[in-house]
Every structure is written in C-alpha cells, then in structure tokens.
Amino acid sequence: MLPSLTVGLLTYPLWRRIAPGRFLVADGFPKLLVSTHALGKAEPVCHRRCRLYWLGIRQVVIGILGTQILLDVARAKGVRRFVQVSTDEVMGSLHDEQAFFSEDSPFCPNSPYAASKAGAEHLVRAAHHTFGLDTVITRCGNNYGPHQFPEKFLPLTIAKALNNEPIPLYGDGPNVRDWIYVDDHCRAILQVLKNGRPGAVYNIGARNERRNIDVAKSVLDFLGKPHSLIQFVKDRPGHDRRYAIDPSLVERELGWHPRETWSSGLRQTIEWYMKNEVWVERLRSGAYRAFHGREVGAR
C-alpha cells in the first residue's frame, strides 16, 4: 500500500491517479491525531502538510509538532519508510544569479512557513540518525497543475485573466521561482519512496526558472489577453528574490526526469481551469472567501 497521511490539496487528486492505493488525508491537528491510529504496520508514510497561510502557533503545531507525532507513530508501528516532502524555501533566497540550491545548501528560512518546514526536516533527520528510522527528505519548488486552489499565483492569474480582471503582481515582478508540473513532482516522490537511499535528501526540480512577471505574461499570451491586465502592488514583507534547484542527484541516482515542459504543462493547466470554471468560482465564492479571511486576516 502507498498511503499518504498528509497530501496537499494540489497533489492529492493527481496522486490517486498516478499511484492508486490507500490514502489518509489529515487537514489540521485533530484529524492528524485521528489518522495516526489508522496507520498500519509497515506501510510507508509521505508527509507534506503545512499550509502557507497558517499563522503563529498553529504553524508550529502542525508543521513541527505534527511531524514529530507522525515520526513517533511511524517508529511505534514499524513503518518501513518515512518520506518528508519539504520545500526549497528552507534554504532561503539565492542572491547569486548563477547559483543553485544543492542538497548541502545551508538552511536560511525567511518566513514562518519555511522555518516550520526547516524544523520538521531537522526532526526527520534526527529520527533517522538517533533511532534508525528509514527516512528520506525531498525538497521541491513551485508546483502547478489542475486542482490547485485559486489563492495561489498561477491559478489566480488564470482566473482573473479569464474574467478580464486586474492581475496583482508583487513589486515589479522580478522574483524568480523554479516551476514543476505536479504530475512530475508526484512521480519523483514515488521514485524516492521506492528507491531513495535511507537518510538521503533529494532536490526535485524541472530546471524551469521563471520570473513572476514572465509567468503572468505566459498566461496572458496563451489566452490572448493584454499585458495591461497586470497590476503591480506593494511587495510583501520578506519576499525571497530567487529560488533555483539543482536536481542532478535525483536524476543521477534514481533516473527521474520531468516529462512536461513549461509549455506543455502550462497548456494542460490553463485548459483544465477553462473547463472547470464552475469549480474555481465556487472556491472564490463568499463561503470560501470568508474561510480564507479567517485564516489570513491577521497577515
């Protein structure tokens, strides 16, 4: 079986398509506690849950304490492998435009989200070193694809472009992110789950650096919309300038390579959102906005 206790909202629907099996999804601390009791002996665990917009103590409880609970249960149940799905954000911002994150890059998290993910990584590494738990850590960049919530940059850009609404862009849009199609990320995690070295860390990336402004322009060009829809807004505090991943290790050791190019992945993503505008609008409705406002209102 290939259960996932805490698969994110973007990856979950596609993960089921790529690797059918038993899945347990915990969205929040109470459910996390419940789902640990459902974990069977010797089943592998893939853990990634940590919402970007959780704040303060909740970020720490879910991101760090939640990870420790899962590690404790994994040890008690004799789980054969624990995969921690982390993020390139734990390594901070790259100031050298020619540099790339490697598995040995030092930690330098610049947001509460990244700090909680870094803390979780330390706990996973300690569980392997101290107790011999078979753990592997993956770090990935910006995922995109179907089913991603419209609060995120790419689906938000698509939805607003389809409605001819202004597209907000932080600063003047120079921030660089390393984009990967979600199916490719899921396949990489499965390779790590099956064949990764115990105790190893793998950076997963598609060698696809894009400035935010160029991402927005790509969407507008695909839809035949004017670039004038882009509206620059005040930059957010602590906005990291550039992320870029060197995926040489996972390519070399596990033979993984992305299947989708930026063009093919973006086309599939935009076409999905065009066919599912009702789904998008439902999530952008008053009920969803009220929930989202409660979560991020203090930010």
Give catalytic status of residue 72 as yes or no. Answer: no
In the annotation, is 181 catalytic? no
Residues in the chain: 299
C-alpha distances out from residue 196 to 89, 115, 132, 188, 203, Å: 22, 25, 15, 10, 12
Q: Is 89 a catalytic residue?
A: yes
Which residues neighbour 227 within 8 Å (Cβ) at sequence distance 6 or greater? 217, 220
Name the catalytic one among 12, 53, 89, 277: 89
Which DSSP state fits 256?
-
Whole-angstrom Cα distance, residue 6 to residue 39? 12
**142-144 and 167-170 strand pairing:** unpaired
- Using an 8 Å Cβ cutoff, are 215 and 152 in contact? no
Question: Which positions are annotated as active-site residues?
Answer: 88-89, 113
